[in-house]
Amino acid sequence: MSGTAAGLGLKRPVGRALIVGGAPARSQPLAAMQALGFECAEIDDPYAAAAELFRRPLVYRALVLSLTSFYREELPIIATLKRRLAHVEVWLAQIDARQAALAEAVRLGADGLLGEDGLLHRIQGAAAPAAPTPANVPSPAALPEPALPSQNDGEPILSADELRALLEEQPSLPPEASA
């Protein structure tokens, strides 16, 4: 259907998206999400965005975070939002030169990337954030090879090499203190 009511030719929005980032960083994600059929609202501050989402929990279906506008210390907000508002998908935009922040955001539960091509690229297995323990951090060699998408699949995914690169860039965890 992709934004059009079946058989009637009516244009309906896919849902509402909240675009978070500084004003210059919001223009590309805003245009891309609108082109995908989302109604969009914009906000500068991630904490104000969280407040808006918690105040009106059923209004938004997607949250787009511009990584160029985030401090790494602000990224845990992703896990909080995913835990409390599981229906809201978290998409990351403007990831250039932000590989460590990208890896952290994915670990915290981000659903995927809003690419420069204007498409949403879901990251396999990103739906459930895991607690950061050494036991659940797989080595890149232990990961299964993802199936390659077919031409008509419509849901782009990361290649096995891209996924391995993301996992290798995860920050090392401190050794467990013995009790």
Domain span at residue 83? 15-168
114: domain CATH number is 3.40.50.2300
Strand (E) positions, the chain? Answer: 15-20, 38-43, 62-66, 89-93, 112-114, 120-122
Inside any domain, residue 20: yes
Residues of the chain with pLDDT under 50: 1-8, 127-156, 170, 178-179
β-pairing, 38-43 vs 15-20, is parallel
Inside any domain, residue 95: yes
Distance (Å, rounded) from C-alpha 159 to C-alpha 152?
17
Inside any domain, residue 154: yes
Domain total for the chain?
1
Inside any domain, residue 3: no
Alpha carbon 1 to chain centroid, angstroms: 23
Helices 99-107, 160-168: inter-axial angle, 10-degree rounding: 90
Alpha helices, DSSP H only, in the chain?
A: 23-35, 46-55, 77-84, 99-107, 160-168
Q: What is the pLDDT of residue 105?
A: 92
Q: Does the reported pTM lie above 0.75? A: no
Inside any domain, residue 7: no
